[in-house]
Amino acid sequence: MFALAILSICAYLGSALLMLRHLNRPKPAHMPTYLAWIAVSIHSVHTFMDFQQNQSFNFSFFSTAALVALIVALLLLIAALNKPVEKLGIVIFPVAALMLSLNIYFADNSPPLSAHNWAMTTHILTSIIAFSLLNIAALQALLLAIQDQQLKSHPPKRLIQSLPSLQAMESLLFQILATGLAFLTISLLSGFLFIEDLFAQHLVHKTVLSLMAWVIFSGLLTGRCCYGWRGQTAIRWTLTGFVLLLLAYFGSKFVLELVLHR
């Protein structure tokens, strides 16, 4: 398993480096994408073997971060099959390599997923998928902000020149947001229906922050449909919602596990 993790880390980093080298090419190179698929496949095998070895999923802080990174990378590669988003891998793949490295270095045990019923499993998995999708949306929003700023005041750099038009980037951003919001809605509904005691499980702040993020993303999509919101408004709302989700998903986990050791 350690060897698999090292191979996946090397493949992630190699893919990101090749993407940087091929930024000036008018057409995307295939080798970085193939290498990224290899990295994701090996990472998936590593995760599956870890599940079989422990007879459960490990949802400790670093293990969850590595799982989210895997899903983000996989969703990016799937989206890249018909949309020009592969260059987001320059940021996502090194982060996935880092999260996997931290996971194998800080190995820990956590309550197993198998200890929960199907309802709680649905809540956990939809939460992770929603966060992963909205993570990609936040990166997309950051690229949009940089792209807009450079097109207005500076000669665009290589990465910005290689990106699609602002209109195409915005359209993709809202597609990702809509899908992420759907999974976030399912996650929240399943949480309200099946979690018995929010106070005993230290989930009040997570629920409040997630609801605030849901309101922000829903308001942004409504504003887009009804009032044509775009540009800086879309960027600010997306990043605000993602920061709230980040605090909800990992802020509490960080404090409880790594600070309070609970």
Question: What is the chain's mean pLDDT, rounded?
Answer: 81
Region 142-157 average pLDDT: 76
Answer whether 63's CB lies under 8 Å from 108's CB: yes
Give one DSSP letter per residue of 155-201, joined into a string: ---HHHHTS--HHHHHHHHHHHHHHHHHHHHHHHHHHHHH-S-TTTT
> What single DSSP character describes residue 247?
I
Report which of 21, 11, 143, 131 is spatially closest to residue 71, judged by C-alpha positions. 131
Position 116: which residue type? H
Query: Residue 54, SS3?
Result: helix
| Confidence at residue 257, expressed as pLDDT on a 0 to 100 scale | 54
Report which of 150, 148, 167, 164 is spatially closest to residue 236, judged by C-alpha positions. 148
> What single DSSP character describes residue 260?
S
Residue 184 reports pLDDT greater than 80: yes
Give one DSSP letter per residue of 64-124, joined into a string: HHHHHHHHHHHHHHHHTTTSS-GGGHHHHHHHHHHHHHHHHHT------GGGS-HHHHHHH
| Residue % of the chain over a pLDDT of 90 | 29
Model confidence pLDDT, tens digit, residues 166-181: 777 888 889 889 999 9
| Confidence at residue 262, expressed as pLDDT on a 0 to 100 scale | 54
Model confidence pLDDT, tens digit, residues 223-235: 999 988 888 899 9
242: Cα separation from own chain's centroid:
10
Q: How many CB atoms lie within 10 A of CB 204?
A: 11
Answer whether 171's CB lies under 8 Å from 137's CB: no
Crossing angle for the helix pair 30-54 and 89-105, nearest 10 degrees?
30
| Confidence at residue 24, expressed as pLDDT on a 0 to 100 scale | 65
Is the pLDDT higher at 98 or at 26? 98
Report which secondary-structure segment, H or E, holds 205: helix 204-227
Residues 6+ apart with CB under 8 A from 59: 110, 111, 113, 124
Answer whether 15's CB lies under 8 Å from 89's CB: yes
**Alpha carbon distance 29, 19 (integer Å):** 8
Model confidence pLDDT, tens digit, residues 186-223: 988 888 877 666 555 556 778 888 899 999 999 999 99
Answer whether 11's CB lies under 8 Å from 42's CB: yes
